[in-house]
Structure 1
């Protein structure tokens, strides 16, 4: 059974643009505040997850670069699925390291879960064939 859901092309574009914003801002924070970001990771309850992947400064720079490139790709709709996959790969360890350990304030954890849901929307749906959408 092939059921089709019609979605406004403009709503998809707006969703992409709005979702990309948090990654573009975070990428600049990572790239221009490396020491502050490393300190935040080092103070996290689950910092061992980050240390498992290697040097924190390098991880902060790499995640900043990935979020900048993939966030811009998501913003302009270039290789949207790959951009969303890249951003999700970066978001998961950040969420596990930083937000999961902050049980006293669940807001940031659920914010990241919501962002992951938005990324999954672009990963699981194919928007190359715009003829199937209606305005």
Structure 2
């Protein structure tokens, strides 16, 4: 069964640009507020997950650098599929440690789930440089 949907190239660009914003802002927060971000990890119920991967301060800096570079790559459309994979790999442990680990409200958790959905869109679809794309 070959079902195709026509999607405007402009809508794909808008999604990519708008999705990149959260990572660019988060990267700056990680890099300029390291102590505050580490404190959020330390207060999370699942902080052991972060500590499993190493020193939380180093992880905050590393994730900030990765989100900055990959967020910019997503913004400009460079290697979009790989960029989305990298960002999803950063988003999942953050979501599990902080959002699930501090589940006082469901909003931040579902925000990250929505962001993951946007990233999955770019991971699962291979877009060519066309005015209209079939998916």
Partner residue, 2:103: 103
**Segments of 4+ moved more than 4 angstroms:** none
SS at match of 1:133: strand
Q: 8 Å contact 2:9–2:131 — kept in the other structure?
A: no
User: Which 5+ residue runs of structure 1 have no aligned equivalent?
Assistant: none
- After TM superposition, give the deviation of residue 4 of structure 1 in Å: 1.6
SS at match of 1:91: helix
Q: Deviations over 1:52-91 (max 9, x none)?
A: 0001111001100110011001001000001100000000
- After TM superposition, give the deviation of residue 132 of structure 1 in Å: 5.2
RMSD: 1.3
Greater shift, 40-49 or 100-109, is seen at 100-109
Greater shift, 15-24 or 1-10, is seen at 1-10
Provide the aligned length of Structure 1 versus Structure 2. 134
- After TM superposition, give the deviation of residue 131 of structure 1 in Å: 6.0
Partner residue, 2:5: 5
- After TM superposition, give the deviation of residue 39 of structure 1 in Å: 1.0
TM-score, normalisation: structure 2: 0.94
Structure with bigger strand share is: 2
Partner residue, 2:118: 118
- After TM superposition, give the deviation of residue 17 of structure 1 in Å: 0.5
- After TM superposition, give the deviation of residue 102 of structure 1 in Å: 2.7
Whole-Å separation in 1 of the counterparts to 2:102 and 2:57:
22
Partner residue, 2:30: 30
1:1-135 alignment, distance < 5 Å: 1-130=1-130, 133=133
Whole-Å separation in 2 of the counterparts to 1:109 and 1:40:
15
SS at match of 1:130: coil
User: Which 5+ residue runs of structure 2 have no aligned equivalent?
Assistant: none
